[in-house]
Amino acid sequence: MDDDESSSVWPKNRSVIMMCAGGLFAVGWFLLIDAMVMQASRNLKPSMGARHVLPGLVATIGFVMIVCTPRTAFADGLYGATHNSCAQTWLFIAFIVIMSSLSMAGWMSVSTFLQVSPQSSVPNVVAERGNSEWPGVALILQALAIISAAMLVVNVRMMALASEQF
C-alpha cells in the first residue's frame, strides 16, 4: 500500500473507530438504565437508587477528561522529546478517575447484590431468593464499556499523531 492509499483510508478508519467509542459509551449507559428499569418494574430487592449511578458518572467525568486532554499529551507515545508534563498529569488523573469508577462499581455490586448466607460462609447471589443479580453485573459492564471507549479515543489520537493526520 503506498502513501496515497494509506492517507485516504486513515480518516475513514478514524471516524469509524470514534463512532465505535461513542457506541460503547452509549451501550454502557443503556445497560445501567436497563438494570434500573428491570429492578423497578419487577419490584425486586435490593432496589437501585441514585447511588448506583455514581460509578457511571465518575466514569463519564474521566471519559470527558480524556477527550479534553490536549493532543500534546499524546505526542511521542506519552513520554518523549516533546514532553508536556501538565497535559500528561491531566491524562494520568483522568485515568485514575476512570479506573476508580470500575472499583466503585465492583464494590457496589458485591456489597449490594452478593450476600453471605447466615447458614454458611459461602456467598449466595441474591437471585437465589427470587431477586436479580443483573444490576450488579450491569454496574461492572457499564464501567468497562466506558473505560473501553476511553481507550479507543486514546488509541485513535495516538495513531493520528503517529501518522500526522491531525
The pTM for the full model equals 0.78
Distances (CA, A) of 125 to 43, 44, 117: 17, 13, 9
pLDDT score recorded for residue 8? 52
pLDDT digits (tens, 9 = 90+) for 82-104: 456 777 788 889 999 999 999 99
Ordered by start, the domain boundaries in the chain are 3-163
First to last CA, the chain: 21
- Cα–Cα dist 136/110, whole Å: 7
pLDDT digits (tens, 9 = 90+) for 141-159: 999 999 999 999 988 887 7
| Residue that is written with C-alpha cell 492509499 in the block | 5
Cα radius of gyration (the chain):
20
| Of residues 135, 136, 148, the one with CA closest to residue 27 | 148
Helix axes 85-113, 54-67, angle to 10 degrees: 160
Q: Which residues are CB-contacts of 91 (< 8 A; sequence separation ≥ 6)? A: 65, 66, 69, 73, 78
pLDDT beyond 60 at 162: yes
The percent of residues above 70 in pLDDT, for the chain, comes to 70
Would the CA dihedral through 85, 160, 94, 69 be positive or negative?
Answer: positive
User: Whole-number mean pLDDT of the chain?
Assistant: 78
What are the backbone angles phi and psi of residue 114, rounded to the nearest 5°? -130, 115
| Of residues 59, 71, 70, 65, the one with CA closest to residue 148 | 59
- Cα–Cα dist 124/120, whole Å: 9
